[in-house]
Chains A and B, each alone.
Chain A
């Protein structure tokens, strides 16, 4: 992981090659998060590329004292995607927000090119309890804070924390990480 710290510090010094490596590590993930919010493949592609340009232009604002690099770029992605859903363009396309969209997307996606264990993940998500699905979707895909998630799901804050730990635990067992 020293390797990754090095990549990030090179990225902050505007090293394009280092940034390319970070891009390849996270572009699929960022695209998944954006796609889950905007629900449109073409738009997701455009926003994802935009996110990586924004991150580059604001490289100096990242600090490892505030959080992980992945979390930082995840935040940029969620904000950009949410901004888009507030735009006229999105409203005109009349997308309805479906609570089960995460599952939907995982079940229909065919990211054969990705290195992820997509088939296993689909099975995993299908088997997950509804409460796990909503906790994961709100916290990771939608960027809810603990408090917001607890209000949305009418669960005590402490429960969100432990519930999420259990759900991610199951995910990690499945992925072997």
Chain B
């Protein structure tokens, strides 16, 4: 079979796909090694496939640096030296080995030390972080136990009956702690906005938007509130918040017990 026929048979496309048997693969590999025309054809096919498959990638970017430190150098380093012709070389060789071994251990020692100090630093950061979050948690418990703090449950409304939230209102410090764990993730481009309401006549005052909702882990927000609130509500608003609440998107609402 000449090159043209061989190429036309379609076997090279299957070779690149990896769809051939092991035996066929070996045959094609041997053939393209000796035949530049066939090799060029394989390279072109491969180029086309690389581009086609790459187009099925989503827009994530890939960086070699992300895997670089996971690539272990598993190659063993072997120090070889020629067999000495004369006995006197043995001494030199021994000295050389001793010298390089010493050097190697010094280097290794240094890199171990570096590694150790990096690990130590990491650990310290972790401890620091945990004790911060512990302090936060303790502060929250304190708030929830304080008898002067009023707790107001906010119940789910028509648009989202399963939603709920809770407001802990500390009148001494004029602040509220909002536990919003019971709200669903807001859709993209929307935020939750918290409102203080007085009921007669119904007057809403914005207390702010929860624009860190998605990133916040415990979903507890501290918001200042100096209003004489009679109720609290949470609505879903376009990013940035609104001047007055969109009551069709009222997620939760709860009145302060008088």
> Do A and B interact?
yes
B172 in contact (CB, < 8 A): no
Distance A66 CA – B28 CA, assembled complex (angstroms): 9
Distance A31 CA – B153 CA, assembled complex (angstroms): 47
Smallest beta-carbon distance A58→chain B, Å? 10
B34 in contact (CB, < 8 A): no
Distance A105 CA – B53 CA, assembled complex (angstroms): 10
B257 in contact (CB, < 8 A): no
Distance A164 CA – B66 CA, assembled complex (angstroms): 36
A64 in contact (CB, < 8 A): yes
Contact yes or no, A71 B58, CB < 8 A: no
Which residues of B are found within 8 Å of A106, using beta-carbon distances?
Answer: 55-56
B75 in contact (CB, < 8 A): yes
Mask for A59-101, Cβ within 8 A of B = 1, else 0? 0000011111011101100000000000000000000000000
Q: Interface segment, B42-50, B129-137, B206-214?
A: B42-50
Partner of B58, one of A44, A57, A122, A177: A44
3 nearest CB pairs, A to B: A165-B10, A32-B56, A28-B54
Distance A13 CA – B55 CA, assembled complex (angstroms): 31
Task: Report whether over half of chain A's contact residues are helix, strand or loop; otherwise say mixed.
Answer: helix
Do A32 and B44 form a contact, CB below 8 Å, given A67-B15, A145-B19, A165-B8? no
B83 in contact (CB, < 8 A): no
Task: Report whether over half of chain B's contact residues are helix, strand or loop; otherwise say mixed.
Answer: helix
Contact yes or no, B29 A65, CB < 8 A: yes
* Number of interface residues, chain B, beta carbon within 8 A: 52
Contact yes or no, A67 B56, CB < 8 A: no
A153 in contact (CB, < 8 A): no
Contact yes or no, B53 A161, CB < 8 A: no
A36 in contact (CB, < 8 A): yes
Distance A27 CA – B21 CA, assembled complex (angstroms): 26
Contact yes or no, B15 A141, CB < 8 A: no
Distance A106 CA – B25 CA, assembled complex (angstroms): 30
Do A68 and B42 form a contact, CB below 8 Å, given A26-B50, A32-B56, A141-B56? yes
* Contacts between the two chains (Cβ within 8 Å), count: 186
Which residues of B are found within 8 Å of A146, using beta-carbon distances?
Answer: 14, 19-20
Contact yes or no, B48 A168, CB < 8 A: yes
Contact yes or no, A35 B50, CB < 8 A: no
Task: Pick 15 A–B contacts, CB within 8 A, sort by A.
Answer: A13-B75, A28-B57, A30-B53, A35-B58, A49-B62, A57-B72, A64-B29, A71-B16, A106-B55, A114-B55, A116-B51, A136-B52, A141-B56, A144-B19, A168-B13
Which residues of B are found within 8 Å of A64, using beta-carbon distances?
Answer: 29, 33
A172 in contact (CB, < 8 A): yes
B39 in contact (CB, < 8 A): yes
Which residues of A are found within 8 Å of B73, using beta-carbon distances?
Answer: 14, 16
Distance A9 CA – B251 CA, assembled complex (angstroms): 62
Distance A120 CA – B228 CA, assembled complex (angstroms): 63
Which residues of B are found within 8 Å of A24, using beta-carbon distances?
Answer: 64
Distance A65 CA – B8 CA, assembled complex (angstroms): 22
Do A121 and B58 form a contact, CB below 8 Å, given A70-B50, A162-B10, A168-B13? no
Size class of the contact patch on chain A: 35 or more
- Contacting A at CB under 8 A, from B1-22, are 8-11, 13-22
A110 in contact (CB, < 8 A): yes
Partner of A67, one of B9, B13, B29: B29
Contact yes or no, B60 A31, CB < 8 A: yes
Smallest beta-carbon distance B14→chain A, Å? 6
Smallest beta-carbon distance A93→chain B, Å? 16
Residue of B nearest to A21 (CB): B64
Which residues of A are found within 8 Å of B70, using beta-carbon distances?
Answer: 53
Smallest beta-carbon distance A47→chain B, Å? 12
Contact yes or no, A45 B60, CB < 8 A: yes
Do A52 and B57 form a contact, CB below 8 Å, given A146-B14, A161-B9? no
